[in-house]
Amino acid sequence: MAGVQAGTRLRWVDPERGFGPGEEPTTLLAMDSWLVDEGRVKALDAHAERFISACAALRAIPARRTTAFLGAAVERLPRQGRWFPRVELVLAGGVLCFQLWMRPAPPRGERVRLWTSPHPDRRIRPSVKGADLAHLTLLRQQALDAGADEALILAPDGRIREGSTTSLLWWRGDTLCAVPEGPDALASVTRALLLRAASDAGVDVALERPTPYELDGLEVWAVNALHGIRPVTAWTGLPAGVEAGASRRVEEWNRVLDETAAPVVADAGRGITP
Residue 73 phi/psi, 5-degree rounding, is -65, -45
Q: Strands across the sheet with 228-236, in order?
A: 160-163, 150-154, 112-116, 228-236, 219-224, 167-172, 175-178, 205-207
What CATH number is given for 9-106 in this structure?
3.30.470.10
Concatenating the DSSP letter of every residue in 7-25 gives T-EEEEEETTTEEEE--S-
**pLDDT (0 to 100) of residue 272:** 56
| Partners of residue 231 on adjacent β-strands | 221
pLDDT in tens, 204-223: 999 999 999 999 999 999 99
- The predicted model gives 20-31 an average pLDDT of 89
Whether 270 has a pLDDT exceeding 50, the answer reads no
More confident residue, 74 or 4: 74
Rounded to the nearest 10 degrees, the angle between the axes of helix 189-200 and helix 44-59 is 140
Query: Cβ distance 228 to 252 under 8 Å?
Result: no
CATH 3.20.10.10 in the chain is located at 112-258
pLDDT in tens, 52-101: 999 999 999 999 999 999 999 999 999 999 999 999 999 998 999 999 99
Confidence at 3, pLDDT banded by 50, 70, 90? low
Amino acid at 73: A
Sequence-separated (6 or more) residues with CB below 8 Å from residue 125 = 131, 132
Task: Please identify, in words, the CATH class of the domain defined by 112-258.
Answer: alpha beta
**pLDDT (0 to 100) of residue 8:** 84
Rounded to the nearest 10 degrees, the angle between the axes of helix 250-258 and helix 189-200 is 100
Per residue, the 3-state secondary structure of 168-216, as one string, reads EEEEECCEEEECCCCCCCCCCHHHHHHHHHHHHCCCCEEECCCCHHHHC
Task: Please give the model's pTM, rounded to 2 decimal places.
Answer: 0.94
Amino acid at 230: R
**pLDDT (0 to 100) of residue 233:** 98
CATH 3.30.470.10 in the chain is located at 9-106
The pairing of strands 205-207 and 219-224 is unpaired
